[in-house]
Every structure is written in C-alpha cells, then in structure tokens.
Structure 1
Amino acid sequence: MKHLIFISLSLLVTVMMTAQTSFHLDTIYANDQKNVALFFPEPIRQGITGSENFVFTYNREKGQYFGLLQAKPGKESNLLVVNKNGAVFSYIVKYRKKLDRLNYFIPSSKSIGNEKPIVADSTTIVKREDTIDNKTYYYNKFCSYLIDRKQRIGRLKKRNEGIVLRVENIVFDKKELYFVIQIENKSSLDYDLNFLKLSVETRKKGKKKSLQRLYQEPVFKYDLPSKVKENETVRLIYVLPKFSISNDRRTVFELNEKNGERNLKLKISHRFINNPD
C-alpha cells in the first residue's frame, strides 16, 4: 500500500513538473546517529522516502509542522512531503557520517507546486500574498527553537543592583550569528529598558591607550522587551551578520535603563565570537 501511494504521488508531481521549468532539488543529509528536523510552513499530511534506508517520521494524528529524518548507509534517495494545504516539497536525501546541519526551516517558496493546481476562471482571481516575508518567518521559527533548547555556552554574565545580563549562547546559522540573551530582574523595582546595544571594541596601542567602539546593528530582534518587571526573567535574541574578531578586540553588550542608573556592560572575548555553537 505504501509503495502504491508513493507511486501515485510521484506521478502527480511528475505531471506538475512537466508544466514548469526544470527544478534543482536541494539535498538533505542524515545518518543513523542523530535526528535531522525539518520544519514546514504548514502541518505535514504525508511524507514518504524512496528507499528503505531512509526513514521520515512525523505525527500522523495531530499533523505537526515538523518531521524527523534518519538514514542508514546506502545509495541516495528522495523525500516527498505534502502539507495539509496541498503544497508539495521534494528533496534529494543522502547518508553522511558527519552532519553539518541538524535543522531545516523550510519556507513556502521551496514548494515545487500544489497537489491540486489552482485555476483562476474569468470571474475569480486568486491572489497569494504573504503577510510575513520568508526571511522574517525563518527568523521567528529559528529563534523560537533556540529559546526552547538547552544552551551550551560558558558563564557570560554581568550584574548590577539586582539586574543580571547574561549571554546564554551564540549560534551560527546561514551566515548569521544568533545571540541568545537573558535579562533577570532580582530587585524590587521594575526595569524600564532604554536600549540594548552591541558593539565591537578595539584597544588602541601606544602611550595613550584608548578604545575605538563600532556599533553593530542587528538584522532582527526577537522578543526584545520594553520592561522587565520585578522578580521577572526574560529571554530574547539578537541576529547579526556573521563576523569574527582578532584577539585584541572584544564584543560588548550595553544594557541601559530608562530614567535610571542600573546600567551594565557585558564584555565577550573573541574566542566565544569566533567559535559559536
């Protein structure tokens, strides 16, 4: 039965693709030691691999947005996924002993077509508009994943009068660095946030030592609060284009209180920036 369903889906996709220009299918690597997670824009209705040495599991009852891929050594194959809304996704899957990537956040634009092609008649015109662009969608999904996961970086924190600023992790993904940040208010007064800035400091050499500071503007901010209430802990993420620094430089987070003096500066060594998770 499984093979009959796969054949019918394969024929369907083949027919759809003949009416379009040639596709370049992306490749996803997996092994039998780790789970590779694939996050889709809509719940998965069906997912099938073309070979038994690849296994794609997903929640068939609740229709969740993600599935898990594992592979055993063998020849390459393909993975076909159909979302609840009929969007079809197709990938080449290969076994690789060492994996460079464990999570794939797949935007709607990666769909090769729809299970039921939409045809507009003379009286009805169907328009598709994305309320959120693909990049923002990806940032939100990946940041949400990072917030929920267990962080691995060393103890990077600074405290001042009951306010604790901590960098829990620095993660590299798709040419960008994700700074997972925690602000904890252990005081009896609310903390009104004026700004949280990131800069790279260079220590100038010579008789008159000074610091040159260059501020880095995030391309995306996730869950940045305007206030941290008393005895509250918040977590947020800053996303910046990937950069590296030499050992005479350091990265500094500046947390500034609005109408207050509980300000903090958290200094991060080059070794953390150059060796992200």
Structure 2
Amino acid sequence: MKSFPTCFVVFLGSMLLACFAVQAQSAIPINANDNVTTTIFFPSNIAKVVPPAVNFNFEYEDHTQIGLLKGRKGKPSNLLVITEDGYAYSFALSYSEEIQKFNFILTIDQAVSQTNPGKTVGASDVADRKTEENDSPEITDNTSAPVDTDTSDATQANEADTSSSTATDNKPTAQVNMDNTSMDTLVQQNKDVPKQASGNNSRENEDDDLYDTDREEYYRIFCENNYLQKTILKRSFRKNKKIALRLNNILTDRNEKYFILQIENNSKKEFSVGGLGFFRRTGVGQLEKIITPLYSFNLQETIDPQSVNEVVYVFKNFEIGNKETVSIVLTDASSDNGVVLPMDNLIVNSPSN
C-alpha cells in the first residue's frame, strides 16, 4: 500500500493536471448575422442555456439537439450550452457580414467540462440544484452515507489511489469532471469568457462607450439593426391617393424613443418627399407644436414607383397625456397633398419592447 504522503503528492499532481486542462480550453468561435441562420448540432439534447447579448439570438426546442443562431451588428458576446449528458459547450460569438461556415456538428471532446459524470442533466436538475444541496449532506465519494471525521484520512487516501491509477492508465484529455458547485461557477464565469482575439480590438473597446463618445453613430447602428422590422401596429397608417404612411413599430433604448415608419409609393410615378414632421397637440383647440428629432435615418428625397422607403426617427424619450395626440405629417414636394397619421397616447406610450 502506498504511503499517505505519496498518495497526497499523486493526488495534488492530478488536480494540477485538471486545472491545466481547464485553462487550455477555449470557446468555439462562431460568426453570425441576421441574414444567415447558423445551425449547431449537439451530441445530446439541450438542457440549459446561458444566453448571449441581445444582438445575438439563440433558439432551440425542448428535447432536441439542434440550436439556431442569428446575430445583428454589435459587440461580440458569448454563449454557454449545457446538454442532458452533463457536458458544457462554450462559444465566442461575433458579428460578420460574410459567413463562411453555416453548420457546426459538435463532439463531446469540444466541451469545456462535464458537470456530473454518469448522470443525465435536465432543466429541472439545474433549477433545483441549490435545494438538493441544502437537503443532502456533502459527500466526497459515490456512496450515500455521510463521511465521518475519523475515516476522512482513509477516504482521501483511497481517492488518491483512484486518481493515480486513472492518470497512469489513460492519457490526459481536455475533459474535466466537475461537481454541481463547479457548474455554478462555470455558468457565472462564462459571462466573462475572453472574446476571440481579432485585429480590431481597439474598435471594440471604443464601442463600449460609443453612446457617450459618438451619440449619432450609436443612433445609426441601432436604426440600421431595427428599421426593417415587420409591421406590428397594423392599424396605424393613413393613405392619400396611392401614397401611404405607416407606423411599423415604436422602440425605446436608453433615453430615446424610436419611431419606425414606412412610406409606400403605390403609384406609377416618382414621389418627391417634401418633408416628414412630428406635431404634438396638448388638448382640444390647442395649437400643434413641432417635435424636433434627435436623429433621422434613411429618409429618401424621392421614392420610386411601386416601392417602399423605411424610415426611423429618434426622439428624446417622452410620453403624452390622455387628451394629447402626436401627428406625423408627410408632405409632397410637387403639390399641396400630404398624409397625416395621428397617434393617441395608447400608441405613443406603449413601445413594443
């Protein structure tokens, strides 16, 4: 039988090897955009997901092995997926206009860890982990009996022998077995996974404070990511002859409110835009006051026949009272015709996000 000091040295060496394996892991880099759906195939059903930032969207159905990823312009982010067999997969997500790889078929050797070997992990297992830890004693082996302090030395020696035999019989691999507490740590630390190194790291650091350093550029990026949204407010439109003005959506972000509009030219002639204005009436018989936008996006001077122009107007966030209205006025540069789209407080005060 090996002496206790020898076993302890072997056990300590095994732990150092495991720590090195954890540090050697790196997140799987994936590029995504909003035009291409990237498909990820996992070796087992998806049990839990730590979602990425809002400019990335990861979708999956319960009891399936397939995840679908899309992304919009914005800062890189990270994604953590834990499957039912206990393996955890980490991804470094970046936006790219060109996608070279559309499908990822994963194997278990690409996982960064295994949460609990020999046990199937379900969504309920992850959610109820803290309750189980409080209700059951802390155990260092696979038996259900509590560990006595008198036998702790023997138990530690046995564990050292097991670790030693495993280290000598098998080649070191990248997989690291972790208990439930370690999985909590992994989920928490995954939010700070270092992003994939790239040549434009300085630009990414600038984007962190873009809202404060270049407000107009921040507005432009937000508008570009949202101006092609489908119509949500289906009844908010007005039409004059064959020119229609439609309010597709209202969004809020930080301290601003975004009105996403659509101008439709259903005629066979080119339409010249004279202007697009916002007016606020505070009550019956009161004069309308012009609301000055902070930023406007994609308003064309002319709209081709049978075509559509999507526009975004940005204002400092505001709400109106029950008797107040906001009207959007589209004028024709070649005539006195125009389209007026009124909005009451229920529409203005209820952004979709």
Q: Provide the TM-score with structure 1 as the length reference.
A: 0.61
1:147 corresponds in structure 2 to 227
Match of 1:85 among 189, 195, 199: 199
1:193 corresponds in structure 2 to 273
2:304 corresponds in structure 1 to 229
Contact 2:73/2:221 (CA < 8 Å) preserved in 1? Answer: no
Structure 2 counterpart SS, 1:36: coil
Contact 2:79/2:93 (CA < 8 Å) preserved in 1? Answer: no
Task: Give the greater-gyration-radius structure (CA).
Answer: 2
Greater fraction helix: 2
Structure 1 counterpart SS, 2:219: helix
Match of 2:206 among 108, 119, 122: 108
Greater fraction strand: 1
Distance 1:264 1:224 in 2: 16
The one-letter amino acid of 2:296's match is: K
Q: Which runs of 5+ in 1 are unaligned?
A: 7-30, 65-71, 90-105, 112-129, 205-209
Alpha carbons of structure 1 residues 48 and 254: separation in structure 2 relative to 1, 3 Å = closer
Distance 2:52 2:79 in 1: 16
Distance 1:58 1:162 in 2: 44
1:158 corresponds in structure 2 to 238
Distance 2:25 2:50 in 1: 29
> When the two structures are aligned, how many residues end up with a matched partner?
204
Contact 1:161/1:262 (CA < 8 Å) preserved in 2? Answer: no
Contact 1:156/1:166 (CA < 8 Å) preserved in 2? Answer: yes
Indicate the percent of aligned positions where both proteins have the same amino acid. Answer: 17
Alpha carbons of structure 1 residues 32 and 155: separation in structure 2 relative to 1, 3 Å = farther
Equivalent residues in 2 for 1:1-277 (5 A)?
A: 3-4=23-24, 32=49, 36-38=53-55, 55-58=90-93, 74=184, 76-77=188-189, 78-82=192-196, 84-85=198-199, 87=201, 108-110=206-208, 134-204=214-284, 210-277=285-352
Contact 1:40/1:107 (CA < 8 Å) preserved in 2? Answer: no
Q: What CA deviation, in whole Å up to 9, does each residue of 1:179-212 have, x standing for no partner?
A: 11000011122111111001111224xxxxx132
Alpha carbons of structure 1 residues 4 and 216: separation in structure 2 relative to 1, 3 Å = same
Distance 1:270 1:40 in 2: 32
Distance 1:272 1:249 in 2: 11
Q: Which runs of 5+ in 2 are unaligned?
A: 1-20, 27-47, 56-71, 100-125, 128-183
**Cα RMSD after superposing both structures:** 3.7
Q: Provide the TM-score with structure 2 as the length reference.
A: 0.49
Distance 1:55 1:88 in 2: 24
The one-letter amino acid of 1:4's match is: A
Distance 1:85 1:274 in 2: 43
Alpha carbons of structure 1 residues 107 and 201: separation in structure 2 relative to 1, 3 Å = farther
